[in-house]
Chain A
Amino acid sequence: MRLITHNMLKCHVKNCKEPDKQFPLQFKDAKLEQIEAERNNEFLVRMLPRIDWPALLKTTKELGIIIPEKVPANPADDDEFLQALHTAILEMHVKEGSMVCNGCGHEYKITKGIPNMLLAEHEI
């Protein structure tokens, strides 16, 4: 699972209602792997408004990935920024581990890079 996907997912357990705790989910025992991918600047720039930057910053810090603290004024012209963003959200994969909700504690497992976001009976 890439970090772009992680940035879009929140805990959706029925009675878990505190937005600050539902998102971002916290990685636990994350096994990271970097896989090189072709960079597409147009995609990166179009996705920027859809990315929750504080959440991405928090998650990358926890995983030891470095990205700029702030989105520059003209991201489309900032090659260094785009490369850092590309590496963080599209080249870093969490292969194994889990994502834990800071609110209800639900643990979403990641196996072979595929997160299992299904809920249990008492959570729907």
Chain B
Amino acid sequence: MPKFIVHFAHFHEDFRLAELEALTLLEDVVVEYDRASYNPESPFLIVEIESALQAAKLVRRGILVRSIVEYWGSGSTYEELFAEVRRQPERWAEYKSCSFKFTVEAFGKSLSQKEKISTIESFSFLGFEGPIRMKNPSAEFFVCEEYGESHEPLPFETPRRIWFGRVVGRGSRELIDRFDVKKRKYLGNTTMDAELSLIMANQALARPGCLVYDPFVGTGSFLMTCSHFGASSMGSDIDGRQIRGTAGFRRDVDGINANLAQYQLQDLVLDTAVFDVCRNPWRDGMLFDAIVTDPPYGVRAGAKRLGRKNGTIPERSLRIVDGEESHRRADYYPPTIPYEMSDVISDLLEFAAEKLVVGGRLVYWLPTVADEYEPEDVPAHPALRLVANSEQPFGSWSRRLITMEKIAILSDTDHLLSEQGSLARDPAHKNFRDRYFTKFKRDPEDPELN
């Protein structure tokens, strides 16, 4: 099969292969590559795909993929690269007279305009005679000198490798700007950034015809990104003020609805409702194709679930106030109790095991204490298979995007198996809130946690 160079964005390195694998499923494209050849420090990965059209299809909704390039050659020097390109002169002919452009880049170094032009001229042996067009050329060629990341300027270092080929497709990184939280009419204190929200939609395999649910919907970021890719979506939250936009940032703009109107997603974001997913009203037989969520870590305000603290009188809600039972009054709000994060996560897995279709995905964030984390801390469930575990590090703590796939129908005995009794110690997300406040050095750049 023909060789292609996947040109990744050099960001969220631990998420890139997971996204690429999600894209192969979403687009139904067969991709072969050597997993061992993936280097998180390099933005390039060599893959084999049947055709350029299939390659373009593969990456078209990639968020961490900048482009995909038909491989023409590479080398540690230009001489080596040219020698490889010269071995296949038969493929130059197609581009002999069409419009074209060259893009010259360096990874880990910046090139002067003069250096770029002299590099382009060195490819004149290809004999392209068509007009050079910077906008919408018929063919685009890509040269990249890969030096690698270094904090020291090393002007005389030679590149690790030089890559050359024809650009055949691009990812969807422009969506990061389109869904930039600063551009949204409505947002909350803990709204997830656009890039990660978009990556989550890919991990969830959100696509036309499927139904996605976010049980901690907040201001609705994931409904928007999943529905942007054609999925229908629903969300719920125990805090209706987030949905309605009557609290937090930019209030009184009609909450989530304001964003749906802005992005014209009203047809696909079906509904949001106010309830506690711990005591949810979904009827039996209701199934989702994906559950995409950022569970409450309890850091900001303390996660809450409906419940009575010991000693309170359950009938308080039935007291008559101004001739009316108190729970029927407009200002009634049921009591809540703290919701410990490890309970949030085990309830979420149990819910997903019950409410996902077989083959459906659960995509969620798990915060962990960096130096205590072990891979087996990631909660397991007999009906769910771990697909990906991608880390976003913040020094003393991390958050991990966990992707799981439902592989079996939940039977009654599975409830017992899913208890985390097998771990000899507490997982590194247990009592995360307490540790977040007492132990960690926090950086002002860290995201706000909910």
Residues of A that sit less than 8 Å from B by CB:
1-2, 4-5, 8-12, 22-23, 35, 37-38, 40, 42-43, 46-47, 50, 52, 90, 107, 112-124
Contact = CB atoms under 8 A, between A and B. Distances in A.
B283 A9 contact: yes
Interface string B329-340: 000111100000
B270 A46 contact: no
Interface string B189-233: 000000000000000000011110000000000000000001010
Contacts of A119: 276, 279, 306, 334
Given A114-B243, A116-B240, A1 B276 contact: no
Contacts, number: 111
Contacts of B315: 121-122
26 contacts: A2-B271, A8-B282, A8-B286, A10-B281, A11-B281, A37-B266, A38-B267, A40-B230, A40-B232, A42-B209, A43-B208, A43-B210, A46-B210, A90-B267, A114-B240, A114-B243, A115-B271, A116-B240, A116-B273, A117-B274, A119-B306, A119-B334, A121-B314, A121-B334, A122-B318, A124-B334
B334 A120 contact: yes
Contact of B281 (A1, A9, A122): A9
A124 B275 contact: no
Contact of B270 (A4, A11, A115, A116): A4
A121 to B, nearest CB: 4
Contact of A43 (B209, B266, B276, B332): B209
Contacts of A117: 236, 273-275, 280-281
B166 interface: no
A116 B330 CA distance: 11
- Interface band, chain B: 35 or more
A124 B287 CA distance: 24
Contact of A46 (B209, B236, B273, B280): B209
B232 to A, nearest CB: 6
A124 B271 contact: no
Contacts of A40: 208-209, 230, 232
Given A12-B279, A50-B285, A112 B244 contact: yes
A23 B243 CA distance: 25
A47 B405 CA distance: 20
Nearest to A14: B279
B307 A124 contact: yes
Given A5-B234, A9-B282, A121 B273 contact: no
Contacts of B281: 9-12, 117
Interface string B267-298: 10011111110011111011100000000000
A2 B233 CA distance: 12
A37 B286 CA distance: 23
B263 to A, nearest CB: 14
A52 B232 CA distance: 19
A115 B332 CA distance: 15
B369 to A, nearest CB: 32
Contacts of A8: 282-283, 286
A20 B210 CA distance: 28
